[in-house]
Amino acid sequence: MELRARHTILAEGCRGSITKKLFDAFDLRRGAAPQTYGIGIKELWEVPAETHRKGLVLHTIGWPLDSATYGGSFLYHWGENLVSYGFVVGLDYRNPWLSPFEEMQRLKTHPAVRGNFKGGRRIAYGARAISEGGLQSLPKLTFPGGCLAGDTAGFLNVPKIKGTHAAMKSGMLAAEAVLAARALGEAEPVALTEAFRGSWLHEELAAVRNIRPGFARWGLWGGLVNAAIDTYVFRGKAPWTLGYKHADNETLLEADAAPPIAYPKPDGVLGFDRNSSVFISNTNHAENQPAHLRLREPDKAIARNWISFRSPETRYCPAGVYEIVGAEEGKPRLQINAQNCVHCKTCDIKDPGQNIDWCTPEGGGGPNYPAGM
């Protein structure tokens, strides 16, 4: 496919597939800190009226994650007896045995959380990566023939876990810059960079820029101290900017060097398995469409991922797409159940050798989320 418009505004969401190519083609990431991501997993529940407390908001940080791993949850009671529950894990985590999906299930068993689901039933499931790097991880926003908007660039306010307003503002700035470029007959909408720097969006992201990297450097407790100092002492105007030392695919320890994690078995009431979760994500891929999950070097699935990390993709994928079969017979082989994919893009980000390429599947197959997901 060719895009022949004079200007194209790319708003593909986190880890955009075309954007990824543009980063290389126009060297857009030069001078920027590595982008860092989180995987967000979400469930929508319908609960009995006696369980529902409309307007209740609950945010957590820490448990069940260890103090070296960044993550937390949100839970909202809203609408007609609905509860939205989401869990985010920073993809810079180090333990290859960690499963974001199982951590999400486990948090529901905490005494302060489990009552929110009492007597209820889960009605929807989904997962998606989010860009967590913040201001210092933003790429150059413009290139000859277009510009970037929304989470494909990385305009998320991480401490607030909010990006819709930022996506809208960056889209408005992009549209104005394209109009200005058209009026001047220029291919590159260069006005966008200055317009962004002068906007409230830049001010908002600058004020929180040091919070996420603090957790990446010093873990939960050091990160909280850093966040408190940055917010309440410097009020977001500290005379330094913390960067990120590694991309998320570079942080995993080898499997032998990390403690395995034992997760409780799903009871089908509060905790669930991946297959039943994918079923309610309303995703469907036509069986004869080209595979959208491709290995650049198929041999590395075993030679590198299995041997060194015991195939972390079988744990970080929230849809059970990746499976190792034949290990017990001494002939491990990676099986890719691509039809299960819920398009979160975590494998494209976290694969240690960047060997997995998530390509855009044919459209129309979902996930089709109900309102509130």
Which positions lie near ligand SF4, rule CB under 6 A? Answer: 293, 317-319, 321, 341-347, 358
Cα–Cα distance between 192 and 195 in angstroms, integer?
5
14 or 141: CB nearest ligand SF4: 14
Least gap, CB of 278 to ligand SF4 (angstroms): 8
Least gap, CB of 158 to ligand SF4 (angstroms): 20
By three-state DSSP, how is residue 274 classified?
helix
Q: Which residue matches tokens 């009020």? A: 235
Cα–Cα distance between 118 and 121 in angstroms, integer?
9
Least gap, CB of 292 to ligand SF4 (angstroms): 8
244 or 358: CB nearest ligand SF4: 358
Give the amino acid at 239: P
Q: Is the peptide bond before 64 cis (omega within 30 degrees of 0)?
A: yes
End-to-end CA distance of the chain: 31
Supply 87's token pair. 């869990």
Least gap, CB of 150 to ligand SF4 (angstroms): 19
Least gap, CB of 298 to ligand SF4 (angstroms): 16
138 or 341: CB nearest ligand SF4: 341
Cα–Cα distance between 244 and 212 in angstroms, integer?
9
Least gap, CB of 331 to ligand SF4 (angstroms): 23
191 or 341: CB nearest ligand SF4: 341
51 or 314: CB nearest ligand SF4: 314
Supply 225's token pair. 């101290």
139 or 318: CB nearest ligand SF4: 318
Least gap, CB of 232 to ligand SF4 (angstroms): 37
Q: Is-contact 87 58, C-beta < 8 A?
A: no
**127 DSSP assignment:** E
61 or 338: CB nearest ligand SF4: 338
CB-based contacts of 326, cutoff 8 Å, min separation 6:
332, 333
Cα 47–chain centre separation: 27
Q: Which H or E element spans position 336?
A: strand 333-336
